[in-house]
Amino acid sequence: MCGIVGVVGHQKAESFILEGLRRLEYRGYDSAGLGVIDRAGKLHRLRAAGKVQALADKIPAGLGGTTAVGHTRWATHGAASDDNAHPHMAGRVLVVHNGIIENFKSLREELAARGRTFSSQTDTEVVAHLIDQEMQSGKDPVEAFRAVLPRLQGAFALGVLIDGESSFIMGARKGAPLIAGMGEDEGYLGSDPLALSGHARRIMFLEDGDMVIIRKGAIEAFDRDGARVERALVPAETSHVLAEKGNHRHFMEKEIHEQPEMIGRTVSHYVDAFENRVHDISGLDFRGASRLVIVGCGTAAYAGEIARYWFGSLARLAVEVEIASEFRYRDPVFLPGDIALFISQSGETADTLEAMRLAAAAGVQTLALVNTAHSTIAREASLVVPTLAGPEIGVASTKAFTCQLSALACLAVLAGRHRGHLDRAQEAGHVASLLAAPGLMVRAIESEDEIEKLAQGIAGYPTVLYLGRNQYFPLALEAALKLKEISYIHAEGYAAGELKHGPIALIEEGMPVIVIAPHDALFDKTRSSIQQVASRGAHVIALTDPDGASALAGEAARIVTLPSGSQLTSVLLFASAVQLLAYHVAVYKGTDVDQPRNLAKSVTVE
């Protein structure tokens, strides 16, 4: 996760920024930078690839800043370099940014046509140019910032300084976290309360779509429509652990809400957003692959099951998905040309590690899809294909799962190109859809209030069934797992087409049956399954898209409508919905959401 920290009215602003950036180092980054306004009102920008210390070494003695913003960056659009490090500038405007601006290419082309030149490969630089352009037309900085925000598509958090204006910082958020804070005489901005812990006395958690102007003695907040709003200032937590949760009750809730940002970060690692093309990965070539063997445990295995559909459809590549604890003990047969992909959030899952060692001993190329770069699985694999979910504290996997899916989707597109089954236009279409996923995820999570209302009714039942077809069948399995592990309700996931082969005998009056039903090529088949269980008294909750909601009116007891996605992104949106449903059922029941009984985050023993 990228980090933003800002301060206004501080006696040593650059020192405060460095402290805040160091607190965020554990989240991972590859460059750092800051913008600071000195006592004379002059804006200075300093950036460095590498660690925060490399940035600190560039700060001149006696700078005497009073207002500043800083940033740690994971490279997304553009390589890790000084030029691509944040902050970015245009004219008097300096910007730091977390997230992705989906429409940056069209904005960049528009700005270039007006004579603007760019010095980086990032999406962020267009924001600085847009604000500066509005100021050049006569708007003051606040008006200019407000005019630009509706033009930005995607998930983002922004911090903005203006050269010559040391009395305020501007910020805005859409789908990425951002907070404002007040101290004794200072105002603060941050992407994480941890960066402000011990300094800010009161914290304001900005709502999605908010814009904020922070001064020494006041915070002005505006909603997405530009109307002035009052947001509560609450006492800041002094505990770093509590600060890290922010305004969320549990880490799991926080991590669900982090998904737009983390998905964007993971996708951007694999694709060239300028060319709408997946990067080649040195040492990985799907052209001669005879088969892809995907191995994982629990949620990781379900991610592999979903990806099986993508590799088959996009690349015509045979895929076998194996549970690591079974695979390692059944004397597996490997074929010439096999590639084996091992999925683990921690990179330390014992069964997955031993299964990988078994494949390596047979001479099979091993790929590690992990969230922990220096883990054992990552060190021992032939190649590492990372997920960039950031630390996941909740035992029940959420953002790690959707980042695994995002990385697997990129690999499936790459395999499709390698094997000649995707032409240039098809690849570009899939990449464009993946780059749009963070913005769609923001909209999907906006269904939380509606989903929360369903939780009370579900919590009273001993059994819940989930149904899905095609790639949504393994998602139904994952949904059932989520509900089981944090609410302790017995839940099962089934392929909807298998109802008459046994599971329909379980249906009884009032039983909750949750059906994942996008309006796709198999919608009519799924609709038939809904009718079958509803006619037997089931309380059907349909998770669908706008077209599906229209078609299912009157046929399901409750309908949750999510945004329409593509072949590769809609499963991400439905994943967020089933995660939120499990979470709120568990909260209603009063279970230990983050540390459910009998479970551990990383299973390092058999």
Q: Which residues are catalytic?
A: 2, 601
Beta carbons within 10 angstroms of residue 54's beta carbon? 14
User: 7: which strand partners?
Assistant: 68, 188
Beta carbons within 10 angstroms of residue 249's beta carbon? 12
* Residue 565, CA distances (Å) to 241, 348, 478 in order: 35, 33, 19
**What residues have CB less than 8 Å from 425, skipping those under 6 apart?**
none
Radius of gyration of the chain (CA): 24
User: 341: which strand partners?
Assistant: 294, 367
β 490-495/383-384 pair status: unpaired
For residues 584 and 458, what is the distance between their CA atoms, to the nearest angstrom? 10
CA 9, 15, 16, 17 torsion-angle sign: positive
For residues 198 and 202, what is the distance between their CA atoms, to the nearest angstrom? 10
Longest Cα–Cα distance in the chain: 77
CA-closest candidate to residue 183, choices 223, 228, 233, 231: 233
Structure tokens, 248: 């969320």
For residues 508 and 537, what is the distance between their CA atoms, to the nearest angstrom? 6
Nearest-5° Cα angle at 177, 172 to 178: 45
Long-range contacts of 279-282 (CB under 8 A, 24+ apart): 279/414, 280/414, 281/383, 281/385, 281/414
CA-closest candidate to residue 313, choices 527, 520, 576: 520
Q: Do residues 101 and 156 make contact, with C-beta atoms less than 8 angstroms apart?
A: yes
Q: Do residues 434 and 568 make contact, with C-beta atoms less than 8 angstroms apart?
A: yes
Task: Return the DSSP state at 366.
Answer: E
CA-closest candidate to residue 570, choices 448, 436, 425: 436
- Cis peptide preceding 546, ω within 30 of 0: no
